[in-house]
Structure 1
Amino acid sequence: MFKSLLFIISVLFISPLVWAQLEYDTPESVGLNTDFIQTKVDSIMQSSIKEYAFPGAQLLVAKNGKIIFHKAFGYHTYDSINKVNLNDIYDLASVTKIVGPLPALMKLYEEGKLDLDKPFSHYWKPWKHKKDKKHITLRELLAHQSGMKPYIIFLNSVTKKGKIKNRFVKTETSKRFSNKMYDGIFIKNRFKNKVFRQINRSKVSNEKVYNYSGLASLIYPEIIENLTQQSYTEYLQNEFYKPLGSETLGYLPSNKNFKNNIVPTEYDSIFRKTLVKGWVHDENAGLLGGISGNAGLFGTALDLAKYMQMLLQKGQYNNKQFLKPETVDTFTQIQYPENNNRRGLGFDKPLQGNDTLSLKAAYPAPSVSPQSFGHSGFTGTFIWADPVNDMIFIFLSNRVYPTRENRNIYDHNIRIHLQQTFYEATRTE
């Protein structure tokens, strides 16, 4: 009787909070100071644009289930023609890793279709006969503890002395060349087999230490398709993005007739010979037709916030249970703290001892909780969720415009300064 009563109370009083959808409100509604936030954020953003850290950016912060800050700054490019709008679509780069394949892997794990500690070769057969790979587990791969090399430049396979190899790339589409990398650039459909072969043959370090590697992310979509018997992109749309109401989240936005503007990234002087816009910036993902687990996902700040809020609410959002609470807890915990590896399963985590570091040395902001998690992206994107402080931080920019050589966003630790502002605002009268 007592247990039944507790259940009824939990349904009546806890569920409305758990199932909450994001809504807009003021900083004061959650105990923060609007003037302090506006002054500090505006100052950081304007100085960053003047110092050419990025031509424009936008910032969305939610606390206690309320979006208390969402503002756009600057322009798409330094010519100051197209202003950044709140519904602009960005190339998310490596943020793809935790918004693309990861939720699918989490769901397959809780359904018993994936085992974190079983050799990955059980799911990826080519590794069964690779001495250095056959015992690597999914847990090690997701926590970047596997010894896999960080990166392979697959662009080297389609060019020779600066010239494009016609057997892999065509200027017109056909049945065998239907993977579009950009306007007038079509990649051979079977090129992904070459990508997989190079990954399968890549060397693995005997030393099991933290070393960030994106190679397994290129394989995950194939694993997801094998286990679900659905296309990778359809599975994500049906199981996550559509039910979340995240309409812009997805791959190949140029094919979807969105009214939203798509923010350009880098001027590609090596391969595409043009300003990249609406097609993935990352060359490896581009060579796979723009659909990959390491990069290729596009979306708006609001649609990303819905996804992160779902994780913050232990897998629940928009009147739907997407993932079990224990699944979210498992994947967002540090896996190998004894090896000085801060990573969760797919998710990035704060530096160990982060709260003792200065703003210059911290990652992310020193005031985030150790339970917080997120990821950054090469194009200048950054998303983070803090369950202890019930806060979501979404920063989107195209810092690679006009070139990836621009590192001011890192040198000045801009995103960390912005994030810390919202923690300091709680201490301002």
Structure 2
Amino acid sequence: MCSQLAQAQLQYDTPESVGLNSEYIQKKVDSIMQSGIKQHAFPGAQLLVAKQGKIIFHQAYGYHTYDSIQKVALDDIYDLASVTKVVGPLPALMKLYEQGKLNLDVPFSTYWKSWKHKKDKKDITLRELLAHQSGLQPYIVFLSDVLKNGKPKHRFIHSHPSKRFSLEAYKDIYVKNRFQRKMFRIIKRSKVSDKKVYNYSGLASLIYPKLIENITGEDYRTYLQNNFYKPLGCETLGYLPSLKSFKNAIVPTEYDSIFRKHLTKGWVHDENAALLGGVSGNAGLFGTALDLAKYMQMLLQKGVYDGHQFFKPATVEEFTRIQYPENDNRRGLGFDKPLIGNDTLSLKEAYPAPEVSPSSFGHSGFTGTFIWADPENDMVFIFLSNRVYPTRTHTNIYNLNIRPSLQQVFYQATIKN
């Protein structure tokens, strides 16, 4: 990667400028997107692809909802769901690792003291947690602790804010500030599997923001803004967008019939993140495709973007490499990776597209989001949708292989001489 590119910002250009056929791309992408909308994989979506530091494709399709009222715009803000894990706490953990304030291979309980006396957790390392190799269970539904017969328990949920109830989960829903401690206690008491095998778990991500605050002495959101989002020029990336005065439209997610009794828009879809007031390490970030592209381009460029060095190349390489291949665990540290042997699989079996390089990395989100960077092919791929609208039962985004199919287009679009 030339240093000149690392100094530059992403610029818009044509597919032809990087040796790709725009007519082929347009035809294929239009077909996949229109099929997705027609078969209710999502009401609308957008796609941004950058190659060699140039944004060669950025288009929006469909509408915010199936009533076809508001068209998807290129600067719409999306609920990023689990993409939060690698764009929120992860860069902070990478920075603290680089500064020698976190060691990946000492027990996590060195930094998270409450695990020190838990026999099944005291020796788990941060490396194991980030690579989903720790044995922690995948998920805990904390909503079941605040609801009784479908109604919120008054000791945890109030309809008006106060000193003790300042965590806003939604309009007129305020969670007790100390509920976070209850979550941490429940995680501490949760069972850990004896087997050290790959098992995706979001539990540690609920802890990371507090850990980051403990180590840095700074507010988690402020730390992210000052160290990453502002210097990257990410104008919308952050938590709690409904409390900010963005002119950009925010795309709705799911109609929540259980907790909030409304269409969730501008408030985090994930219930666990909502119970933390919308600020969590597992979900809660919102942003535009362009903001995500800047972040992923920085990682693609080994930690440098627009004249700023965010990480040393060795840090990016460590976090984006497979950690436990001997255990058939494809994961990096925080980052998702292609399936092992992905290039030998068909499009239907592969994750993501079979053509991505083994060095590529990214993450997906439950709401229908997906970000991926491929250093060997110098490509960034950002797909945003609200596939959970109006309910999460809509799974055609997976059944139709929408995201791998779209990704594959840009590997197969090389201009034939």
TM class by shorter chain equals over 0.9
CA distance in 2, matches of 1:109, 1:72: 38
Q: After TM superposition, list the pairs within 5 Å mapping 1:292-371 onto structure 2.
A: 292-371=280-359
Deviations 1:167-215 (A, max 9, x none): 1001111111111011111111111011000000000001000000000
Contact 2:6 2:306 (8 Å CA) reproduced: no
CA distance in 1, matches of 2:141, 2:30: 38
Q: After TM superposition, list the pairs within 5 Å mapping 1:154-169 onto structure 2.
A: 154-169=142-157
Contact 2:368 2:386 (8 Å CA) reproduced: yes
CA distance in 1, matches of 2:274, 2:416: 46
Contact 1:36 1:428 (8 Å CA) reproduced: no
Alpha-carbon offset, residue 133 of structure 1:
0.2
Q: After TM superposition, list the pairs within 5 Å mapping 1:5-154 onto structure 2.
A: 14-154=2-142
| Residue identity matched to 1:137 | T
Partner of 1:387: 375
Q: Does 2:251 align with 1:263?
A: yes
What's the TM-score, normalizing by structure 1?
Answer: 0.96
Q: 2:362 aligns with which of 353, 368, 374?
A: 374
CA distance in 2, matches of 1:168, 1:393: 41
CA distance in 2, matches of 1:414, 1:281: 22
Deviations 1:212-270 (A, max 9, x none): 00000000001100110000000000000000000100000011110000000000011
CA distance in 1, matches of 2:108, 2:228: 25
Deviations 1:301-343 (A, max 9, x none): 0000000000000000011000110000000000000000000
CA distance in 1, matches of 2:168, 2:151: 19
Q: Does 2:213 align with 1:234?
A: no
SS of the aligned residue for 1:189 comes to: coil
Partner of 1:173: 161
Contact 1:168 1:188 (8 Å CA) reproduced: yes
Q: Does 2:198 align with 1:210?
A: yes
Partner of 2:384: 396
CA distance in 2, matches of 1:77, 1:33: 32
Change (3 A) 1:90 1:428: farther
Alpha-carbon offset, residue 17 of structure 1:
2.2
| Residue identity matched to 2:275 | L
Q: Which runs of 5+ in 2 are unaligned?
A: none
What's the TM-score, normalizing by structure 2?
Answer: 0.99
Partner of 1:4: none
| Residue identity matched to 2:363 | H
CA distance in 1, matches of 2:319, 2:151: 43
Q: Does 2:232 align with 1:244?
A: yes
| Residue identity matched to 1:313 | Q
SS of the aligned residue for 1:251 comes to: coil
CA distance in 2, matches of 1:18, 1:46: 36
Alpha-carbon offset, residue 14 of structure 1:
3.6
Deviations 1:82-141 (A, max 9, x none): 000000000000000000000000000000000000000000001000000000000000
How well do the aligned residues superpose, as a CA RMSD in angstroms?
0.8
CA distance in 2, matches of 1:241, 1:414: 29
| Residue identity matched to 2:359 | Q
Moved over 6 A (4+): none
Q: Name whichever of 233-242 and 15-24 sits farther off.
A: 15-24
Contact 1:141 1:216 (8 Å CA) reproduced: yes
CA distance in 2, matches of 1:415, 1:374: 13
Q: Which runs of 5+ in 1 are unaligned?
A: 1-12
CA distance in 1, matches of 2:136, 2:416: 46
| Residue identity matched to 1:98 | V
Percent identity of the aligned residues?
76
| Residue identity matched to 2:71 | K
Alpha-carbon offset, residue 163 of structure 1:
1.7
How many pairs does the alignment contain? Answer: 417
CA distance in 2, matches of 1:327, 1:19: 19
Change (3 A) 1:421 1:14: closer
| Residue identity matched to 2:373 | A
Alpha-carbon offset, residue 15 of structure 1:
2.1
CA distance in 1, matches of 2:240, 2:23: 39
Contact 2:6 2:307 (8 Å CA) reproduced: no
